[in-house]
Structure 1
């Protein structure tokens, strides 16, 4: 009799194993999804975690949002609110409940705007409109600013207040536009293009364009997220500063602009120099220049005093030359006297030798020789005297030529003040001053007119 086949062993799962495998399957195939729905059954226990359901007209799904995620929300979630949620699919093993683990949530309307924002941002970034190497430098001291904003909003008042306080000489030209609503983006782009056209034609000159508005919701700021505004900023020949909303708000215009300011007031601060700081700097330079000038004057004064101490009066030079002339005269007289004494001594020697010779003819010859020698001596003495007198005369003429008194004889005069100081520069005189003029013969006193 044939044997019956052995039955297969059935694979049996526990409930925990089943839920665990289902959880892995869900999380593996749906890592992250966006879900739109209405919040219901919202519960906030003391742990800080949120538990609620997202529902539409025909279905609902359980959701959990842990404290670390809901603490980052920028709005207050309430039951009945339509939201967009980014979540991971999971399964709560303890009950076998299929659920969403929500990581981020935003109001449904803002979610659509956020997606449009990201799409345009990615598109323009790929085209290179955000590249840092094409950004234009913002001038440090602009003379004229074109402001593109609402003429009645708080932003323009804040900008004008800051500029008036920091540097009121900056010229401000307002290009009034709508800053929210359907027509806002075309008007903003048109104003930016108009400012560039006026500058390019030379009709108006601008150094920078400031485009912006005050704070508001994402929808209020949306005009500065439009592509037409982004391209107008990118094509601007003038540097553009974007100042939209508050510090936490970012728009497409901020990424395209050459400089992003957190607020309109901050933009006015960035483009205007601090007038008080510049004035303080100028005063410091003035004090430094004054000290340098006083130091230079003191140095020149000391140098002038030193030169005055070395300057010799003409009278002292004249006395020196006169003393030198007396010295030469005394040397000449002494030389002539010494020479005469020598000649007399020679005569005495010859006379003594003559007396020692007894023959008459010798005596006659000696007398004749003595007479001849005496005549030669006289001539020699006379010639020496004439030479010395000629030298003395030449020396006296040379002294007269360099003497200030001889200069006076040639028609020159010496002008001095009441204290006897010689005046060499007419600019040293003042009207009404008394001066003395010395000529070769006599002197006069006169008054300057």
Structure 2
């Protein structure tokens, strides 16, 4: 019992299995048949049956796809449909969910289109790696189209409104019929070889697959891929696709959209130019300020290293050194003068005349008597003898005879020998009357 229970499925589970099998086995199919039971409710979806003499299949085309149909589906119309097989689980019926529907008269062209598209794609003709980017600014544009169609009016109107400075050359050609493809190829190659244009636009208005067939030509597709100038294709309406669209460097959904893609809006360009001008002014001001700063620094460095500045600095240093030397010399001279005055005071105090004057004052303060007088006389005689002896050994006496007393200026030491001084050293010479400042130029002995 348990083994049989494992195999029991609910209707929902069975339908799910059936749906998965259908969708996995038939990923995408083309079916040609006659329309029947056509209904289109308020939702916008399209429901009908495709039938032949012996069978029929239910079909559904939901609104996002059905609203772009180029014809009105009606009973008995023969069509070519493309879609996926699935299961409508609510009724347990299988059906097709379509993504494309066209009248059966276009079926052969559609199959030829798909086969050629697959072959060229396998060769890499439609690969994104080989597509050339449009230039940032198109200056000259070649427009290959019919001179009387609505497409050329739309293109020229949009280009004139958005960017009147663009140079546009209209290269008139047939866009429909047996000779149209050859004319388009010829004009494309001539425009590409001229070197005059920055971009080439192929365009025409909408139409049936047969009307657009000139743009599905294999030679045209290869000429577009081989062009050195970027090619823009805008053929038909947004839902129309041609081999020229796949081979072109850029596909536009409509001719007007192609014109908008090729040139900027002049108002947007004016705004951008104003922003760029402001940015340029700001950058110029910044660069000028930076240049002025560099100039100021260079001027300061130049002034700091100029000969005149260095000479002025040396003069200031020399002046300062001279001022300090003069102050030091004056301090040394004053010190020497004080020492000489002190030595003179001490020497005068030890002179015989000074001592004799002091003794006289002392004698006058005493009351002399005969013994004292004789003693005083003896003392006077002895003092005179001592004075004579003192004068004999006194340096002042020696100086008075034409000699001088030499002392070193730096320490006041008495100079008795030439070995005590160096060449260039400063000396002071004490004379009988006055003093001299001397500098040793040469030393002997």
Contact 2:113 2:216 survives alignment (8 Å): yes
- TM-superposed CA distance for 1:67, in Å, is 3.8
User: Which of 98, 115, 120 does residue 119 from structure 1 map onto?
Assistant: 115
User: Which of 253, 256, 263 does residue 265 from structure 1 map onto?
Assistant: 256
Q: Following the alignment from structure 1 to structure 2, what is the Cα–Cα distance between the partners of residues 160 and 252?
A: 24
Partner of 1:215: 206
Matched, 1:348 2:342: no
User: Which of 177, 192, 196 does residue 192 from structure 2 map onto?
Assistant: 196
Q: Following the alignment from structure 1 to structure 2, what is the Cα–Cα distance between the partners of residues 198 and 251?
A: 26
What secondary structure sits across from 1:179 in the alignment?
A: coil
Contact 1:243 1:260 survives alignment (8 Å): yes
Residue deviations 1:133-192, cap 9 Å, x none? 222232222333222222333333333333344444333333221222222111111111
Q: Following the alignment from structure 1 to structure 2, what is the Cα–Cα distance between the partners of residues 376 and 33?
A: 142
Q: Following the alignment from structure 1 to structure 2, what is the Cα–Cα distance between the partners of residues 34 and 254?
A: 26
Q: Following the alignment from structure 1 to structure 2, what is the Cα–Cα distance between the partners of residues 256 and 375?
A: 124
- TM-superposed CA distance for 1:117, in Å, is 1.2
Matched, 1:142 2:138: yes
User: Which of 357, 363, 369 does residue 398 from structure 2 map onto?
Assistant: 369
User: Which of 224, 227, 240 does residue 215 from structure 2 map onto?
Assistant: 224
- TM-superposed CA distance for 1:120, in Å, is 1.5
Question: Are residues 339 and 227 of structure 1, via their aligned partners in 2, closer, same or farther at CA, if it must alter by over 3 Å?
Answer: same
Matched, 1:239 2:235: no
Residue deviations 1:174-217, cap 9 Å, x none? 32212222221111111111012212xxxx3x222221222223
- TM-superposed CA distance for 1:243, in Å, is 1.4
Question: Are residues 45 and 253 of structure 1, via their aligned partners in 2, closer, same or farther at CA, if it must alter by over 3 Å?
Answer: closer
Question: Are residues 278 and 228 of structure 1, via their aligned partners in 2, closer, same or farther at CA, if it must alter by over 3 Å?
Answer: same
- TM-superposed CA distance for 1:245, in Å, is 1.7
Q: Following the alignment from structure 2 to structure 1, what is the Cα–Cα distance between the partners of residues 123 and 320?
A: 102
User: Which of 319, 326, 336 does residue 333 from structure 2 map onto?
Assistant: 336
**Could you say which structure has the larger radius of gyration?**
2
Partner of 2:246: 255
- TM-superposed CA distance for 1:323, in Å, is 9.8
Q: Following the alignment from structure 1 to structure 2, what is the Cα–Cα distance between the partners of residues 329 and 45?
A: 122
Contact 2:225 2:248 survives alignment (8 Å): yes
Gaps of 5+ in 1: 1-26, 55-59, 90-99, 388-449
Q: Following the alignment from structure 2 to structure 1, what is the Cα–Cα distance between the partners of residues 264 and 38?
A: 54
Contact 1:110 1:219 survives alignment (8 Å): yes
Gaps of 5+ in 2: 1-21, 86-94, 302-308, 356-384, 407-426, 440-445
Q: Following the alignment from structure 1 to structure 2, what is the Cα–Cα distance between the partners of residues 210 and 151?
A: 13
Contact 1:64 1:102 survives alignment (8 Å): no
Q: Following the alignment from structure 1 to structure 2, what is the Cα–Cα distance between the partners of residues 303 and 145?
A: 53
Contact 1:166 1:276 survives alignment (8 Å): no
What secondary structure sits across from 1:380 in the alignment?
A: strand
Contact 2:224 2:244 survives alignment (8 Å): yes
Instruction: Provide TM-score, normalisation by structure 1.
Output: 0.58
Q: Following the alignment from structure 1 to structure 2, what is the Cα–Cα distance between the partners of residues 168 and 48?
A: 46
Q: Following the alignment from structure 2 to structure 1, what is the Cα–Cα distance between the partners of residues 65 and 333?
A: 127
Partner of 1:160: 156
Instruction: Provide TM-score, normalisation by structure 2.
Output: 0.59
What secondary structure sits across from 1:358 in the alignment?
A: helix
Contact 1:147 1:173 survives alignment (8 Å): yes
**Coordinate RMSD, CA, aligned:** 4.8
Partner of 2:276: 282
Segment drifting more, 78-87 vs 161-170: 78-87
